[in-house]
Structure 1
């Protein structure tokens, strides 16, 4: 049996842990490290994070039953999962316990011999572009860009709505509400259409600070107004203030992408995340800004999501590991696998 055919018989697992919950995908390590998916499950409960970082015990309590459910459904309840990639929000700064505890626990519970631990931005990159050089911009409530030339990672923004996330949903929503309040006060730069939308969304704007400032989910509340800004910026009767906000957001996102783009021609830029669902009022200016700042890059559609990326990285482990750069915090391969036997080689 060839090495490739032996590896393709091995079960692998991808895990995506974020604020919306935990998702797990099972697959085979296909030829060349391309996964052959066999199923996925999800739980809406997010993994807990405390003073010591991501709660590795809670992560395992959610992951192991999901893995066994998937193995049973695939008729492989008695077979090991030889490789696992866990992508998690906060892995870079809050993942010390996960890095210390998960490899041993997965080996004991699932027979795992290869483990990759990644920041969710890395699994997002792998899902969007695979193992090609380029840039992935993930934009939702916030914005983060990750780029690589396959030798090292470069990251820009992702600093949260108080210090950064420029051009993201919270940034757009805050700018829209500021324009609404300017119109309420009679100051320059105000927008009556945005004021109308703000009242419809939040009630009388005089009480908005008291309703907004104390909330722990303040960034999400701000981001919820971004689609209203886009609606005001769309169509023949587009509000120029709203349209200007989205042009400014596009400029900020393009600056972030340019900061991490590998040098040289032929790079790819993939756009991922829920913010881009607001459509042409943002996408149009963003494409123009990217063409201006990165004339040699090509904007492409993301091939998959972070869970697809985690499964792809896991499937690469029996084939010598992913071609993506290792990094102590962004992508750490805890062990590699001998594809002839499924055994650990270090």
Structure 2
């Protein structure tokens, strides 16, 4: 007798928006099967900030979940003193999940009150994993509200609530020891020997995130302002680029400081710093990129398993800055973690969230549970 198809949901809530992935777990599905995962092989509807993709590839190493559909919402969830607004997350997640399930053929998806386990598993998600920034310090409301709300609205019995660093790790390396540096607007390094986690940085653009996109952008703009003032350490090339992007730099403080998304605005200048280093050979820009590489390597070394043997992966938008960052980064990793192999990330935080949901559905989560980093419910 064929086992009913089991559905799982992965959710990635980040600075660029909300992404929701529907996956299926079947007996006999092999982790690592051929396919594009979350790569460019899917279909995107329209050109708006909301879109669906259909994919058929495996999502992460060591996971038996195949991606069925992805929905992307380009507007980030609002945050406050309590972190991500759980109510707003549910407003976006529940209708999207029901629609994706219905389109995938799960009749009566999300119906509540189902008394038969097999019927519920066939029609609604058996597990959901949510990855979100700030869950370690600002995740109390999510932890208090999500388990019961998802049980009532979607019939979900198993939930994982994870830091976005954990979902980045799960997507990049799967269930093996090592270190992942998630580097985009912010930066956090996470390492594990599969017994416990070690975390470095991730303190936000005002207190840390050293080497991140926001850090590089801020350093580049500081060099531009130094050149504007005639101070040592300035860069005329970066000043010219800053004024092309933002207008007269004298107006930067008034334009930047009041913005709630100032970290993202700072990070938007990081590619200009990298291009300035590559195209003009500007020594100040090159120096910013070299120091960013040192910060990334130091964070990786701080969390790498002490016993050694693990690998290192870099994930996030910083990877797209190319040689101005990656060349000095390879050298810095060689100095800080000699003999450690650097590998490409197998997937992204969304694929990691879907992998966590798949492991929950199977009843075995191979990564360490730790409050604030990886919490599970309903097992």
TM-score over 0.5 for the pair = yes
TM-align CA RMSD = 1.8
8 Å contact from structure 2 (residues 8, 361) kept in 1: no
Q: Distance in 2 between matches of 1:257 and 1:70?
A: 37
> Per-residue displacement from partner, 1:152-180 (whole Å, max 9, x unpaired)?
11111111111111111121122212222
Look up the match of 1:315: 358
Q: 1:25 aligns with which of 10, 15, 21?
A: 21
Q: 2:347 aligns with which of 276, 284, 304?
A: 304
Q: CA 1:47–1:217 in structure 2 vs 1: closer, same or farther (change >3 Å)?
A: closer
Look up the SS of the partner of 2:23 in the other structure: strand
Look up the SS of the partner of 2:370 in the other structure: coil
Q: CA 1:215–1:263 in structure 2 vs 1: closer, same or farther (change >3 Å)?
A: same
> Per-residue displacement from partner, 1:200-251 (whole Å, max 9, x unpaired)?
222222333333333332222222221111111114x411111111101100
Look up the match of 2:93: 63
Q: CA 1:49–1:200 in structure 2 vs 1: closer, same or farther (change >3 Å)?
A: closer
Aligned length: 331
Q: CA 1:335–1:296 in structure 2 vs 1: closer, same or farther (change >3 Å)?
A: farther
Deviation at 1:262, TM superposition (A): 0.6
The question of 1:222 aligning with 2:222 is answered no
Q: 1:99 aligns with which of 143, 160, 168?
A: 143
Q: CA 1:94–1:41 in structure 2 vs 1: closer, same or farther (change >3 Å)?
A: same
Where in structure 2 are the equivalents of 1:1-346 lying within 5 Å? 6=3, 9-30=5-26, 31=29, 33-78=63-108, 79-235=123-279, 237-336=280-379
Deviation at 1:150, TM superposition (A): 0.5
Q: Which residues of structure 2 form unaligned runs of 5+? A: 30-61, 109-122
Q: Distance in 1 between matches of 2:272 and 2:82?
A: 38
Look up the match of 2:49: none
Deviation at 1:272, TM superposition (A): 0.9
Deviation at 1:51, TM superposition (A): 3.8
Look up the SS of the partner of 1:316 in the other structure: helix
- Of structures 1 and 2, the one scoring higher in RCO (CA 8 A, sep 6+) is 1
TM-score, normalised by the number of residues in structure 1: 0.90
Q: CA 1:162–1:34 in structure 2 vs 1: closer, same or farther (change >3 Å)?
A: same
8 Å contact from structure 1 (residues 180, 191) kept in 2: yes
Q: Distance in 2 between matches of 1:73 and 1:50?
A: 34
Q: Which residues of structure 1 form unaligned runs of 5+? A: 337-346
Q: Distance in 2 between matches of 1:114 and 1:173?
A: 40
